[in-house]
Amino acid sequence: MAGVDNLNDYYDVTLKKARLEQLQKLPGFSFILTSLEDREAMENVFSSYQPTIVINLAAQAGVRYSLSNPYAYIDSNIVGFLNVLEGCRHHGVEHLIYASSSSVYGANTKMPFSVHDNVDHPVSLYAATKKANELMAHTYSHLYGLPTTGLRFFTVYGPWGRPDMALFIFTKAILEGRPIKVFNYGRMKRDFTYIDDIVEGIVRLLDKKPEPNHSWDSANPDPATSSAPYRLYNIGNNQPVELNRFIAVLEAALGREAQKEYLPLQAGDVPETYADIDDLFVAVGFRPTTTLEEGISKFVAWYKDFYGVK
């Protein structure tokens, strides 16, 4: 088993290295320090390790960061993903599972978001690159018979999470007595999904290689399937939560009240996300079950332990 990461400084490298230390305790785990966009290095990874299954969770993430640093998204999410696809193509990979995002739903207003709906109107460059990944994966499924499964994650949170996510930012600010910025006046909703549920969904899909949909109709195409071995799934909690309630649960877990600075919806954000996960349940019999209270409580306990907060 091998892992690839460039440990870039998009956020605290100390946190990334601490995560890596946990992985390096696993027997048989190898780590390769490189970037997906390094074509020669990625070819060496595939040649050396000859993986049968590839899980690509690497990407330049974040909607807001894409407003100021667009090239980082093209380099990592487009060029890097192409190198992954080429490695899979030339080295006989049996199944590629890759992270897409709920952001691809963009301007869609039909709820809950379904993988069977069209998603041609992204509202951020980040979302556009993840939609492009789905299109690129389909091309390789169609041309080369590479089984690909795209997973649209919905607002993942939990221990070891990214410091640029709301839960991390809010927790740090509240503990330090600083105000938090509450966009869309706290009225936007997110389908917050605990990390363990994301992992469970991925693990269950490892051996669920997509098969061609022989009833697929090009005159009335289903975006979630194909005549090629290609599949898309949502992984979300299926329970959108208003941001104000999210903050209230966090305040309860911390035992402190937040100072709130209410602001309008920020460019690139969407007012609501809500995952239709029926296809995931049919495929592998799984629905996320972690409640918001349980998930936030576990995050707060990890945060205090990791940063030595009393």
Q: Which residues are catalytic?
A: 126
In degrees, to the nearest 5, what angle opens at C-alpha 272 toward C-alphas 121 and 281? 90
Q: Residue 220's CB: how many other CB atoms inside 10 A?
A: 6
- Could you tell me the maximum CA-CA distance found in the chain, to the nearest angstrom? 61
Structure tokens at 275: 């995952």
Structure tokens at 234: 């949502």
Q: What single letter denotes the amino acid at residue 31?
A: F
What span, in angstroms and rounded, lies between the C-alpha atoms of 207 and 131?
Answer: 24
Does the CA dihedral 286-292-293-294 come out positive or negative?
A: positive
Contact 34, 49 (CB under 8 A): no
> Tokens 């390790």 label which residue?
49
Q: 3-class secondary structure for 189-209? A: EECCEEHHHHHHHHHHHCCCC
